[in-house]
Chains A and B, each alone.
Chain A
Amino acid sequence: MNQDYICDLKCPQVVGLAPPEARCCRYCRVSRRYFLTPENSAYWTDEVGFLGDNGCRLSRDTMPPECKTYDCKNEVYYFCAIKYAPLVWDGDKWITLQVIQGQFIGEIDNIDELTETMNHFIKKYNKEFKSCESSDSTS
């Protein structure tokens, strides 16, 4: 039988980075939608599932079993910091335009998710940057 763990909310975190959204309580979150019933729907939100500020909002005896047996301390996490900037020729030299920085934390098993997140992060910036550029050029 699997050991029963009680989440102590010691989520992996890095100094300077806001605590993750109870990442380690992943089994309390929206992926547990199958566990949603009329009786426990008061504890559910579509954004974070059963997760509250202090962990799962369900009482222990009504939690999904995988929530009770999951221990994030068996996982390896990553912290990733990224700095990205466009570089253009100003007529005389290459200059760096606005630099953006991002910080990401996640499970190492989902490293593909990280590259996907970075992709979205940079795409969003490029889009915003271009819209700033075009509004500048029209002003």
Chain B
Amino acid sequence: MSKENICDLQCPKLPNGDIQLNPAMCCKHCSTARKYFLTPENASLWTDEYGFWNDKGCKLDRDKMPIECKEYTCKDRMFYWCYVKFTPLVWKNNQWEELQAVECKLMGYAGDLKTLTTGIGNVLQKHCEEISVPK
């Protein structure tokens, strides 16, 4: 039988502590992926954004949680943090000049690189639009 874990909400943080991973990611079994567990009886504890999760963890009583929620511990998993600084360069006044840079900080499950690179791509695209980088 698997060991039962109680989430202590010590979700992964960036080294300088300025960003904490969305806790719903750590408590993934309380989050929206558990929609199958939604019933008329527990519907008042559910939101489409966070599932059964709130900022103190799962809103379901422990004896009413899905079994995979009780067994899951994010501490068995590897996460990543990633900083990106992106600076456009244009030729101006006879030299390459830097336009306004954008920085982003991201966290997620190691191995889920698609989410990471898509996230970075979206930030860079949005930045280029915001500062009207000439095409």
Contacts and interface: CB of A to CB of B under 8 A. Distances in A.
A and B pair up: yes
B22 interface: no
A58 interface: no
Contacts of A94: 10, 12-13, 79
Contact of B121 (A10, A79, A111, A122): A111
Contacts, number: 102
Contact of A96 (B15, B74, B113, B118): B15
Q: Which residue of B96, B118, B125 has the most chain A CB atoms within 10 A of its CB atom?
A: B96
A56 B125 CA distance: 33
Interface of B: 10, 12-13, 15, 74-76, 78-91, 95-96, 98, 107, 110-111, 113, 116-118, 120-121, 124-125, 128, 133-135
Given A76-B90, A77-B88, A115-B121, 13 more contacts: A76-B88, A77-B90, A79-B87, A81-B85, A83-B84, A84-B82, A86-B79, A86-B80, A87-B79, A105-B89, A114-B124, A118-B120, A123-B113
The 9 closest A-B pairs by CB, nearest first: A89-B75, A73-B91, A77-B89, A87-B79, A115-B121, A83-B83, A115-B117, A12-B96, A84-B82
Interface of A: 10, 12-14, 72-74, 76-89, 93-94, 96, 105, 108-109, 111-112, 114-116, 118-119, 122-123, 126
